[in-house]
Chain A
Amino acid sequence: GQQVMQIPQYQHVQEGEDFTTYCNSSTTLSNIQWYKQRPGGHPVFLIQLVKSGEVKKQKRLTFQFGEAKKNSSLHITATQTTDVGTYFCATDRYGNKLVFGAGTILRVKS
């Protein structure tokens, strides 16, 4: 079945530093979604990318979908303590089943 690999597993940054998590697949993806899960919380949808080479921004967050639609990244500029949590990429097939990456745990030191 479709799988997405996500790295790094864990990142600890100083507040104000940037953060990036990467998601890769061996097969072409129809879409990529990004979710954030705060400690003890539930996944919350951030964004969906569907087009080759697509780039979307949400304030300090920049999301990219690769030209071949096999990889994606989430970049956070100037992290804040409110950014802590686990960031998951996910992809679905026909809207019926989300396959999640392993997630990247972000910790921010203030």
Chain B
Amino acid sequence: ETGVTQTPRHLVMGMTNKKSLKCEQHLGHNAMYWYKQSAKKPLELMFVYNFKEQTENNSVPSRFSPECPNSSHLFLHLHTLQPEDSALYLCASSQEGRDTQYFGPGTRLTVL
């Protein structure tokens, strides 16, 4: 789905690094989401933003910090991560909350 882009596609970071993931949607949607996908587990919702307001934080550790400056852009700021945070991080958007979600290609994160 080229309507949602994510950068970078791959990221390797040490436990003391600070990095950010970026997501941009070109679909005119109002809601954006961050998901974590680990091997052998269902997709886990992390954060939801609706009209730039955070409406859900699914008990995510504070080392993950989201930012939504407008309805087209979403960031996930990372700091002092743990090796178990290594996963595929997916961004999604929808026309409004509870509607069909469209996903980006994901960022493959490896924490050393």
Q: Do A and B bind each other?
A: no
Residue ranges of A at the interface with B (Cβ–Cβ < 8 Å):
none
